[in-house]
Amino acid sequence: MIELYELAGQDPSARFSPYCWRIRMALAHKGLHAKLIPWHFGERRLPGGNMQVPVLVDHGHVVADSTAIARYLEDAYPTGPSLFGGENAEAHANFILAWTDQVLQPALFPLVAPDLPQHIKPDALPAWRATREERLGMSLAEAAARREQYLAAAHAAMGPLRHVLANQAFLGGSEPTYADYTVFGAFQWVRCGSGREILAEDDPIFGWRDQLLDLFDGLAGDCKVAEAA
Amino acid sequence: MIELYELAGQDPSARFSPYCWRIRMALAHKGLHAKLIPWHFGERRLPGGNMQVPVLVDHGHVVADSTAIARYLEDAYPTGPSLFGGENAEAHANFILAWTDQVLQPALFPLVAPDLPQHIKPDALPAWRATREERLGMSLAEAAARREQYLAAAHAAMGPLRHVLANQAFLGGSEPTYADYTVFGAFQWVRCGSGREILAEDDPIFGWRDQLLDLFDGLAGDCKVAEAA
């Protein structure tokens, strides 16, 4: 049995971790079923002593960190569709992962963070707020007040993504790869974490996201959209 | 016979176009020999009515634009080593190309531009300077004066590249692909166009660039380094 420990909100149907979405999509891509085990900020019951989700437990074998989990799934389940498309493709995808972690998600963070408290259990909220406000360098309310400025910066950061998706269906080409799921995770964070629409309908990123929301019988599209605070 | 029209400087050995370096390296990767035909800013004798280099002429067939040339070489010479590594790898590489064009090269431009006039023929210099200063939004001298600020911004922009190259030999994995040549072209622009060293020796990008300078019997490493103005 495969188990996936994933971040959940106070509403048990809320799923807003970008890293957990990478793995939800990767498991579906491989045709694998996992038992989903919700975890909330402040809880400490993750296997292997891990403090962050996602954590995958495959027949007792514990793998933590989304990138390591994706790598594990590719090796452990070689008969399913490849997540990457070969060695060169995986190496190139690593750049897209690094860009998502270092550029895209930091650009989206100040847009998402002010709406996230709705998902955090009251007893975990003070610690959650303190770490996020330290990362922002300001209060959540101040970040919310600068929303337009952050939105413009995020759209500028999305330039290379937009350019590519104007010319091909997916980052992986005609079909999605783990590179798509990685970037998509960031947009699920916005959608399921914040609930605010940041993409215009004529944005190539919008159409790409729609395709991914429909994939695997609407796995991601069926997820509860947050209510903007 | 394959001919490559490429940008040259006043010194006939100066080669500082990032786009031309992409194709020089791609041709060598494919094991193809091309007759190199120097072209200078302001000249108008490019095949097919093209106004920009590189232009490839393969037995009379004209292909312009570095990305189109790489695609052409991959199709026309399938028996040579692949430039991309398959469909998914090429699709992923397109993101690295877009990032290079939209993020890396614009970040390097104000560092390189002030040193480039040495390469431009005097009669072409006024028009060259006017277009570059318009792109900069300031004079070349003003850009030079802000060098430290631009250097810091360029290093911040290189973050995802640095992260990936700390963990794998090349963007393509254990061997370079066209994604490497694309990013490398930007660093050749700095090296052969400006001559200033912008990388510290302990930077993973420095070691990666060294590998590429050695490749193909030192094809790129043998090129004349500019003298910083």
Which residues in chain B have their CB less than 8 angstroms from residue A167's CB? 94
Tell me which residues of chain A, numbers 165 to 184, contact chain B at a CB-CB cutoff of 8 Å.
Answer: 167-168, 170-174, 177, 179
- The answer to whether B76 and B157 have CB atoms below 8 angstroms apart is no
Min mean pLDDT across A49-53, A200-204, B24-28, B167-171 is at A49-53
Band of pLDDT at residue A217, cut at 50, 70 and 90: very high
Query: Which among A14, A62, A5, A64 is positioned nearest to A39, based on CA atoms?
Result: A5
Inter-chain touch A98–B160, beta carbons under 8 Å: yes
Strand pairing class (A55-58; B2-7)? unpaired
Taking the CA of residue B95 and the nearest CA in chain A, the distance in Å comes to 6
Cα gap A63→A70, rounded to integer Å: 10
The DSSP 8-state label assigned to residue A2 in this structure reads E
On the question of pLDDT at A11 being above 90, the answer is: no
Amino acid identity for residue B17 in this structure: S
Taking the CA of residue B13 and the nearest CA in chain A, the distance in Å comes to 33
Place of tokens 């799921």: A181
A131: contact with B, CB 8 A cutoff: no
Which residues in chain A have their CB less than 8 angstroms from residue B86's CB? 85-86, 88-89
Q: What is the DSSP string of B98-113?
A: HHIIIIIHHHHHHHHG
B4: contact with A, CB 8 A cutoff: no
Q: Tell me the mean pLDDT in the region A1-15.
A: 92
List, as own/partner pairs, every contact residues B66-74 make where C-beta atoms lie below 8 angstroms and the sequence separation is at least 24, other chains included. Answer: B66/B19, B66/B20, B66/B22, B66/B23, B66/B182, B67/B97, B69/B23, B69/B26, B70/B22, B70/B23, B70/B26, B70/B178, B73/B26, B73/B27, B73/B30, B73/B32
Band of pLDDT at residue A229, cut at 50, 70 and 90: low
Query: Which among A40, A41, A52, A16 is positioned nearest to A194, based on CA atoms?
Result: A16
Give A95-112 pLDDT, tens digit per residue: 999 999 999 999 999 999
For A84, nearest residue in chain B (alpha carbons): B88
Give A106-145 pLDDT, tens digit per residue: 999 999 999 999 999 999 999 999 999 999 999 999 999 9
What is residue A44's predicted lDDT score, i.e. its pLDDT? 80
B160: contact with A, CB 8 A cutoff: yes
What is residue A225's predicted lDDT score, i.e. its pLDDT? 87
Which residues in chain A have their CB less than 8 angstroms from residue B91's CB? 89, 168, 170-174, 177
On the question of pLDDT at A63 being above 70, the answer is: yes
Give B186-227 pLDDT, tens digit per residue: 999 999 999 999 999 999 999 999 999 999 999 999 988 887
Cα gap B122→B118, rounded to integer Å: 9
Q: Which of B86, B102, B160 faces A95 most closely, judged by CB atoms?
A: B160
- Map residue A178 onto helix, strand or coil: helix
Residue A117: both structure tokens together: 């408290």
Taking the CA of residue B227 and the nearest CA in chain A, the distance in Å comes to 32
Cβ-based neighbour number of residue B201 at 10 Å: 8
Residue A57: both structure tokens together: 């437990």
ipTM of this complex > 0.90? yes
What is residue B156's predicted lDDT score, i.e. its pLDDT? 98
Give A163-190 pLDDT, tens digit per residue: 999 999 999 999 999 999 999 999 999 9
Give A76-101 pLDDT, tens digit per residue: 999 989 999 999 999 999 999 999 99
For A170, nearest residue in chain B (alpha carbons): B91
Inter-chain touch B172–A92, beta carbons under 8 Å: yes
For A93, nearest residue in chain B (alpha carbons): B92
Query: Which among B6, B4, B65 is positioned nearest to B41, based on CA atoms?
Result: B6
Q: Which of B89, B103, B161 faces A88 most closely, judged by CB atoms?
A: B89
Alpha-carbon distances of A92 from A66, A102, A170, rounded to whole Å: 17, 16, 14
On the question of pLDDT at A196 being above 70, the answer is: yes
Taking the CA of residue B98 and the nearest CA in chain A, the distance in Å comes to 5
Specify the length of chain A in residues: 229
What is residue B229's predicted lDDT score, i.e. its pLDDT? 62
Which region holds residue A173: left if phi is over 0, alpha if psi is between -120 and 50, else beta? left
List, as own/partner pairs, every contact residues A59-64 make where C-beta atoms lie below 8 angstroms and the sequence separation is at least 24, other chains included. Answer: A59/A1, A59/A2
Place of tokens 């052969």: B192
Alpha-carbon distances of B214 from B83, B181, B227, rounded to whole Å: 18, 13, 21
Alpha-carbon distances of A150 from A43, A97, A184, B161, B189, rounded to whole Å: 31, 21, 19, 24, 32
A86: contact with B, CB 8 A cutoff: yes
Per-residue pLDDT of chain B (229 residues; tens, 9 = 90+): 999 999 999 887 889 999 999 999 999 999 999 999 999 988 888 999 999 999 999 999 999 999 999 999 999 999 989 999 999 999 999 999 999 999 999 999 999 999 999 999 999 999 999 999 999 999 999 999 999 999 999 999 999 999 999 999 999 999 999 999 999 999 999 999 999 999 999 999 999 999 999 999 999 999 888 877 6
Q: What is the DSSP string of A21-90?
A: HHHHHHHHHTT---EEEEE-TT----GGG--SS-EEEETTEEEESHHHHHHHHHHH-TTSPPSSSSHHHH
Q: Tell me the mean pLDDT in the region A21-41.
A: 96
- The answer to whether B171 and B124 have CB atoms below 8 angstroms apart is no
What is residue A7's predicted lDDT score, i.e. its pLDDT? 95
Q: Is the dihedral of CA B169, B172, B178, B179 positive or negative?
A: negative
